Amino acid sequence: KNEVEQSPQNLTAQEGEFITINCSYSVGISALHWLQQHPGGGIVSLFMLSSGKKKHGRLIATINIQEKHSSLHITASHPRDSAVYICAVGGSQGNLIFGKGTKLSVKP
């Protein structure tokens, strides 16, 4: 079993839909990261959180430490949101342990 599990693996949505991506982890963490990766490969950090909820524009990230679960929500989705969204947690060596990612495609 992977230490970081994401669901769904693939997600197709219509423009304007509300989107939720889930992440569960099995290790103790200092922080959880949500990242966005575009087809070219570059990764952009969206959120780093250790408790509660954070919001940036149309993106919202929540975490439940007791349940070891986090969600990334996108409100009013847009085709430009199409990307791979990756959940990662802080490892014991100061590294990140990544999930496999959720490929999101938003259709106009």
Partner 1 sequence: ETGVTQSPTHLIKTRGQQVTLRCSSQSGHNTVSWYQQALGQGPQFIFQYYREEENGRGNFPPRFSGLQFPNYSSELNVNALELDDSALYLCASSLDSLSGYTFGSGTRLTVV
Q: For binding to partner 1 (CB under 8 A), which residues are involved?
A: 4, 30-31, 33, 35, 40-45, 48, 86, 88, 90-91, 93-101
Supply the minimum distance, in Å, between the C-beta of residue 69 and partner 1. 18
What does the block give as tokens for 37?
Answer: 């990766």
51 versus 75: smaller Cβ distance to partner 1: 51
> Rounded to an integer, what distance in angstroms lies between the CA atom of residue 101 and that of residue 41?
13
Q: How many CB atoms lie within 10 A of CB 79?
A: 12
Residue 38 Cβ vs partner 1, minimum distance, rounded to whole Å: 9
Q: How many helices (H) and strands (E) does the chain have?
A: 0, 11
Beta bridge partners of 54: 61
**Amino acid symbol at 66:** Q
Q: Which is nearer to partner 1, 75 or 105 (CB)?
A: 105
Smaller CB separation from partner 1, 9 or 64: 9
Q: How far is the CB of 17 from partner 1 (least distance, A)?
A: 25
